[in-house]
Amino acid sequence: MRKIQEPCSIQDCELSQKAVGYCNKHYAWARRAGLLNTGECSEDPCTGAVYTRGLCSPHYQRYRARHKGVMPRLPSNPNWTKTYHGYIVRKISLGARNKVRAEFQHRVVMEEYLGRNLRPNEEVHHLNGIRDDNRIENLELWSTRQPKGQRVSDKTAWAIEWLSEYEPDLLR
């Protein structure tokens, strides 16, 4: 037998209750307004209001960073975040249906240096292995294209194509 849902406790709201007497919409509003926060953060010596799991919002973000693989925003630039694997990335909205694309900072730096977009077969390598060190001196452009066959004629055709793409002056 199915339980009948009570309506939201907000006057004139016809949605059913989901938590603490509120529908989803009004629960989110009450939480943002601080109406649901009871008590202080359990982190010592923080006295911030509880956001969730007994933590204030900043301490909860740190908790998520440690336990969920989501890193906090960088203080120097709030658009860029650090991934769990150590790369610096920002999300670019594509507009359609809230789709987003990740844009890695080391690729952006290399594209600005080259004055063009990277090709699909190009990668950017960190020379010192530190993934958040995106100085141009530490970045190296790698080509991942390889010849498909082992015949000399195949390799020669590939070499001419590769040289015409990266060093066309050498073919003259």
Q: What are the angstrom distances between the C-alpha of 172 and each of 21, 157, 164?
A: 78, 16, 10
Q: Is residue 100 part of a domain?
A: yes
Q: Tell whether 13 and 94 lie within a shared domain.
A: no
Residue range 129-138: mean pLDDT, rounded:
89
Q: Is residue 171 part of a domain?
A: yes
Question: For 90-109, how does the pLDDT look when each residue is reduced to its tens digit (9 = 90+)?
Answer: 888 777 777 878 899 999 99
Q: Tell whether 45 and 89 lie within a shared domain.
A: no
Q: Tell whether 117 and 41 lie within a shared domain.
A: no
Q: Tell whether 107 and 171 lie within a shared domain.
A: yes
Domain of residue 163 covers: 85-172
The tally of domains found in the chain comes to 3
Q: Tell whether 90 and 136 lie within a shared domain.
A: yes
User: At residue 42, does pLDDT exceed 70?
Assistant: yes
User: At residue 124, does pLDDT exceed 60?
Assistant: yes
Question: For 135-171, how does the pLDDT look when each residue is reduced to its tens digit (9 = 90+)?
Answer: 999 999 887 776 666 677 777 888 898 899 888 898 8
